[in-house]
Structure 1
Amino acid sequence: MEAQFNDNPPSTTSTLEERNRTFRRIVFRLIPFLTLVWFLAWIDRVNIGFAKLTMMDDLQWTEVVYGAGAGIFFIGYFFFEVPSNLLLQKIGAPKTIMRIAMGWGIVSILMAFVREEWQFYVLRFLLGAFEAGLQPGVILFLTFWLPAHRRGKAMAIFMSASAMSLMIGSPLAGFVMDTFNGSLDLAGWQWLFIIEGIPSVVVGICAVFILTNKPINAKWLSSTEKEHVVYELAVENTTLGNRDHNFWASLRKPSTWILILTFFCIVAGNATLTFYGPSLVKAVGITDIAALGWVMSGIYACGWIGMVGNGWLSDRNRESRWHTAFAAGLGASGLVLAAIFLTQGSAIGVIFSLALSAAGTMGAIPVFWNLPARYMSGTALVAGLAVINSIANLAGYFAPQVLGGIKASTGDYTGGLYLIAVVEFLAVGLVLFFIKKQQRVIPEAPKDEELAGLR
């Protein structure tokens, strides 16, 4: 359920417009920096897709080695996601984000110096271990500041950084690899890891100076503005009613596993686009790295439009279930079309299909994250977000393995694309048949003790 608010709620003299101004201020303060952090995280996570184009030949590695290394990132994610989110609850978001960003930035720089397969695997694992907790941590952090009906657009902007990183990072990767190749006796792919790792370390240091953990600690908010946040969060708690507060109790419920499986299916499609998009475009004849970078930029621009657009529509309609299902269906359809056009050798067809898949798959992600709060809150939500993200992101391990293995055995990517498309279509059925519908109600005013609990 998502709360709807009267212009003059009985427990406060504030108007809707006054509260809107408060929340706009909060969004403008927090979201740009969080978006930058997520942008850099994705740059350092997926630049391996471009480095692969020359790195594999330089090191004499196979598709199987690449698939295993690309995917093992998510094993690190799996083991450290929940501890990271629990630590965030204790030490706060600013220190957590500092630790995460500095850690993965240093590991990314070290990736430039791998020579052995085991080094590749270890560093990719560590990259996942450091980044673990960032996305669910930010989602949890935003629940301290924004009620659900205001989080959709904010999370869409934040999460669209993944598409922006691909959109901007693709031509940037091509430029860096072409321009710096051979400088100081380092290959272009080595410079890619070094140049893109340094900003993450810098941003990590800045986190403790820019972010504030909770509204009550925000010196940049007036007491009236803090009350606006307290009021709307209390109304949301009243509207949602009884939810699981105990993590282990929520983990025993089928709804939690439905959410995990749904996001697993969406992540499988997303991992296919991010780790194999450049290879798919190269397979239809676009071999110049700089040109390929611009093509991928256009494809991921469609992903960015899908994320922001679907988040905006979800907030406008106060609905998340259908917006998640439709977007996932669009993403899966794009993968089917990509497989068909790949067999025909149609570059235009493959590019169009990947753009369609990016718009749908990436568009489903921010809206999906409105769903878990319908089933859990408190400690259950803290750990639940991390568990959903960590287990579901194992799809990022299996999808590259599947595509790499099928490519190695059959000589093309079509079989793998069809298989991943089926997996993503499964997400549509899970959402429509098992996720409960939203109820639109005007809630009662929150009780005084509920307001006090949020102050």
Structure 2
Amino acid sequence: MTETGPQPIPQSPPNAIPAKRWAYVIPVAAIMYMLAYLDRNNVSVILPYMHGDLELSNADKGLVGGIFFVGYVFLQIPAAILAQRWSARKTVLLLMVAWGLAASLTGLVQTKSQFYVARFVLGFFEGGVWPAVLILLASWFPLRERARANALWMACLPLSSVLMAPLSGWMLDHASWRWVLVLQGVPPLLWAVVWWFAVADRPDRARWISRAEADHVERSIAADEAAKPSAVSGSYLDAVKQKSVLVLIGVYFFWITGFYGFNLWLPSVIKELTHDGSPTEVGLLTAIPFTIALAVMIANAAWSDRTGRRRQAVAVPLVVGIAALLLGQAVDGALPRMLLLCVTAAAVYAPYGPFWAIPGQLLRFEVVAVAMGLINALGNLGGFAGPYLVGWLTDVTGSSVTGFAVLSGFLAVAVALVTLGLRPSARPVRPLSGQAAEGA
């Protein structure tokens, strides 16, 4: 469905506006979150090689992966509000130091219960980083650039797996899993120094940006805000009670259940395909699906910004993911299964940029922080449900087939919600061509 949006405001030709923000803000934020994602997901590579330490069953391993997301809930909204009202730069800095210390301490656990607590604490401190960075990006990139900015930053998710899974595998070949966890908690402490000197909360506070670029960004964002319906500018409670926000929470929960259920167990599946290959071999093979996911994720976001079709950019990849997950359980042979793992990885990562462009399209800046924090907090509980369900069902049935079939069902609910629950918005985002297109 095509809708008519407001007429574009006169602006300088795009090529006349400097774009240093793409080279400064995105890379520093991406590396920062790449380190967070490493400390979150390194257990997926480590768990198959713990060799009976802590006596973890498959359900216990799923709980180790999933309990992170229980802690992840608590700082979502407080950190979003701090980022908006105080400083995204300072909020992320404090959380970066805290999660780095917590990640290193995870390697010192002696019991299963301590492992659970350590992972919970790590999730607690990492939880506020995501919404704080989304607030930061909303201050630097207008709506018609937002999906690409989000996707380029969020490209750190598959890129982290591309680079860090082989690194974790190599480290496991040369050190104990405890030392791997301890050492991988150190880089965030070092990157905090770079973050402090390289990042500014807004264009007018950055020393490296030209006045022309700062003025362009501020004018564009002000025009975006002025064009949003005033009905969405009320209190925090009014914003989060909107149907669209509630639907986005549901979409994110069911999508993330499938996403992390697949992610946590991917190295274990590849280990089976290689007939118990070495950690280095498994780590290198695990990087392949995430390399493909990285390219697809950026391409899908660019298409979403160009056309304004946010809903389709979320729903279509998830449909592909459902098909690949189900086919992967039905085919035999290492190569066909590996190809389907690659397709699934690309499909579950592709919606990230377009999805997180939708809240900023629907809500004014003064309330979008809380809405995004709530979406991320409740949606990421799926990160607990997915890994635990796969582990528990594997223990019960003796096979991962049932678990992955259930994950495909969760993805199907996400598709239904984003397709039927989110109707095209009254004010679609203007695509780059300046022509109106379908909104969220």
Q: TM-score w.r.t. structure 1 length?
A: 0.89
Alpha-carbon distance in 2 for matches of 1:60, 1:16: 59
Q: CA deviation at 1:152?
A: 1.5
Distance 1:306 1:30, change over 3 A: same
Q: Which residue of 2 aligns with 1:116?
A: 111
Distance 1:58 1:441, change over 3 A: closer
Alpha-carbon distance in 1 for matches of 2:429, 2:267: 47
Gaps of 5+ in 1: 182-186, 444-455
Q: CA deviation at 1:433?
A: 1.2
Q: Which residue of 2 aligns with 1:450?
A: none
Q: Which residue of 2 aligns with 1:453?
A: none
Alpha-carbon distance in 2 for matches of 1:49, 1:215: 38
Distance 1:26 1:61, change over 3 A: same
Show the 5 A alignment for 1:32-431: 32-55=27-50, 57-178=52-173, 180-181=174-175, 187=176, 189-245=177-233, 246-288=235-277, 289-341=279-331, 344=332, 346-431=333-418
Q: CA deviation at 1:244?
A: 1.8
Q: Verify the 8 A CA contact 2:150 2:357 in the aligned structure 1.
A: no
SS at match of 2:185: helix
Q: How many equivalent pairs are there?
A: 426
Q: CA deviation at 1:323?
A: 0.8
Q: CA deviation at 1:218?
A: 1.9
Structure 1 vs Structure 2 CA RMSD: 2.0
> Aligned letter for 1:193?
L
Stretch deviating more after TM superposition (363-372 or 249-258): 249-258
Q: Verify the 8 A CA contact 1:100 1:204 in the aligned structure 2.
A: no
Q: Which residue of 2 aligns with 1:448?
A: none
Q: Does 1:17 align with 2:15?
A: yes
SS at match of 1:47: helix
Distance 1:418 1:442, change over 3 A: closer
Q: CA deviation at 1:137?
A: 1.3
Alpha-carbon distance in 2 for matches of 1:221, 1:177: 43
SS at match of 1:67: helix
> Aligned letter for 2:244?
S
Distance 1:2 1:409, change over 3 A: farther
Deviations 1:395-454 (A, max 9, x none): 0001111111101111011001111101101111111112122555879xxxxxxxxxxx
Q: CA deviation at 1:286?
A: 3.6
Q: CA deviation at 1:159?
A: 0.4
Alpha-carbon distance in 1 for matches of 2:199, 2:51: 40
Q: CA deviation at 1:3?
A: 7.3
Q: Verify the 8 A CA contact 2:228 2:364 in the aligned structure 1.
A: no
Q: Verify the 8 A CA contact 2:361 2:429 in the aligned structure 1.
A: no
Q: CA deviation at 1:138?
A: 1.0
Q: CA deviation at 1:251?
A: 2.2
Q: Verify the 8 A CA contact 1:93 1:137 in the aligned structure 2.
A: yes
Deviations 1:355-377 (A, max 9, x none): 11110110112211111123322
Q: Verify the 8 A CA contact 2:292 2:342 in the aligned structure 1.
A: yes
Q: Which residue of 1 aligns with 2:437?
A: none
Q: CA deviation at 1:176?
A: 0.7
Q: Verify the 8 A CA contact 1:44 1:108 in the aligned structure 2.
A: yes
Alpha-carbon distance in 2 for matches of 1:411, 1:370: 41
Alpha-carbon distance in 2 for matches of 1:231, 1:319: 24
Q: Verify the 8 A CA contact 1:267 1:392 in the aligned structure 2.
A: yes
Please, which of 416, 424, 430 is the counterpart of residue 437 of structure 1?
424
Q: Which residue of 1 aligns with 2:436?
A: none
Deviations 1:277-336 (A, max 9, x none): 011122334421221111111011111112111111112223211111111112222211
SS at match of 2:110: coil
> Aligned letter for 1:261?
G
Q: TM-score w.r.t. structure 2 length?
A: 0.92
Gaps of 5+ in 2: 432-440
Distance 1:266 1:441, change over 3 A: closer
Q: Verify the 8 A CA contact 2:106 2:118 in the aligned structure 1.
A: yes
SS at match of 2:350: helix
SS at match of 2:357: coil
Distance 1:56 1:396, change over 3 A: farther
Q: CA deviation at 1:340?
A: 1.7
Alpha-carbon distance in 1 for matches of 2:6, 2:244: 25
Distance 1:125 1:237, change over 3 A: same
Q: Verify the 8 A CA contact 1:170 1:297 in the aligned structure 2.
A: yes
